[in-house]
Chains A and B, each alone.
Chain A
Amino acid sequence: NAGVTQTPKFQVLKTGQSMTLQCAQDMNHNSMYWYRQDPGMGLRLIYYSASEGTTDKGEVPNGYNVSRLNKREFSLRLESAAPSQTSVYFCASIEQGWYGYTFGSGTRLTVV
Chain B
Amino acid sequence: AQKITQTQPGMFVQEKEAVTLDCTYDTSDQSYGLFWYKQPSSGEMIFLIYQGSYDEQNATEGRYSLNFQKARKSANLVISASQLGDSAMYFCAMVITHGSSNTGKLIFGQGTTLQVKP
Give A residues with C-beta under 8 Å from B.
31, 33, 35, 40-45, 48, 50, 56, 58, 88, 90, 92, 94, 99-101, 103, 105-106, 108
Q: A88-B43, A101-B47 are in contact. Are A42 and B104 (CB under 8 A)?
A: no
Cross-chain contact A103 with B44 (CB below 8 angstroms): yes
- Indicate if B105 sits at the interface (CB-CB under 8 A): yes
In the complex, number of A-B residue pairs with CB atoms less than 8 Å apart: 55
Number of interface residues of B (CB under 8 A): 21
Which residues of B are interface residues toward A (Cβ below 8 A)? 4, 9, 33, 35, 43-45, 47, 50, 91, 93, 95, 97, 103-106, 108-111
Asked if B91 and A43 make an inter-chain contact with CB atoms under 8 angstroms apart, the answer reads: yes
Nearest residue, chain A, Cβ from B6? A42
Residue of A nearest to B94 (CB): A99
Q: Which of B44, B47, B106 is within 8 Å of A106, CB to CB? A: B44
Chain B contacts of A105 at CB under 8 A? 43-44
